[in-house]
A and B are shown apart, each in its own frame.
Chain A
């Protein structure tokens, strides 16, 4: 299995530009999570999906951020317009989900390092 795939691995953009981050979860996993990691705030959950449906988006910082999961094998996180304070590493993670009362572990992608100048 290839694991969780994220693209691009690095993104440098100018303030005001639109940024789209992509994630392909592990096949068969039905939960997908987007996280942001910075030195100041640590690891923050932005949003997560179960069976392609957003379950909790309370961590999305503001309306400039949006996430979609059009099918079980693809998700995007979009920032429009981007700002320098959005600079961070963005991780996508997937999980088999919740089955029979058991909470499964999450599998993380390698992350996208975003720099907004």
Chain B
């Protein structure tokens, strides 16, 4: 079946620290991969995406590379800010646009 596993949080970092949130997936075909972000009290927003192997998605300083050989799509940012504090969801889309979301990783960035 299709599923997404991401690291449990919360992740607590100091401002300007390097961020990695791990995400691995299981899929029977060639899914598209996404990272969504959810700020408190809001819906999920698309952060970045990659539609095929070796693609790199990037946005707002965040990056993730679609690694088919390791079935991974880890989220990284070189220098986090307090405003990045949110919950981050990894997801895959396959077969008529149904999405499979991970459980979410809460990021807390301290000044």
State the Cβ distance, A48 to closest chain B Cβ, in Å.
7
CB <8 Å contact, B89 and A43: yes
State the Cβ distance, B28 to closest chain A Cβ, in Å.
14
Q: How far is the CA of A52 from the CA of B44 in the complex (A)?
A: 23
State the Cβ distance, B46 to closest chain A Cβ, in Å.
5
State the Cβ distance, B61 to closest chain A Cβ, in Å.
19
A105-B103 CB under 8 A given contacts A48-B98, A98-B96? no
Q: How far is the CA of A42 from the CA of B97 in the complex (A)?
A: 20
Closest to A113 in B: B41
Q: Is there a chain B Cβ closer than 8 Å to A65's Cβ?
A: no
CB <8 Å contact, B97 and A98: yes
State the Cβ distance, B95 to closest chain A Cβ, in Å.
9
Q: Is there a chain B Cβ closer than 8 Å to A110's Cβ?
A: yes
CB within 8 Å of A: which of B27-85?
31-32, 34, 36, 42-46, 49, 51
Q: Is there a chain B Cβ closer than 8 Å to A91's Cβ?
A: yes
The residues of B that contact A111 with a CB separation of less than 8 Å are 42-43
CB <8 Å contact, B43 and A55: no
Interface centre among A50, A97, A105 (most CB of B within 10 A): A105
Q: Is there a chain B Cβ closer than 8 Å to A56's Cβ?
A: yes
Contact with A along B7-34 (1 / 0, CB 8 A): 0000000000000000000000001101
The residues of A that contact B45 with a CB separation of less than 8 Å are 108
Q: Is there a chain B Cβ closer than 8 Å to A107's Cβ?
A: yes
CB <8 Å contact, B31 and A103: yes
Instruction: List the 8 closest pairs (A to B, CB-CB), nearest first.
Output: A108-B43, A103-B93, A103-B32, A108-B44, A98-B97, A105-B46, A42-B103, A43-B101
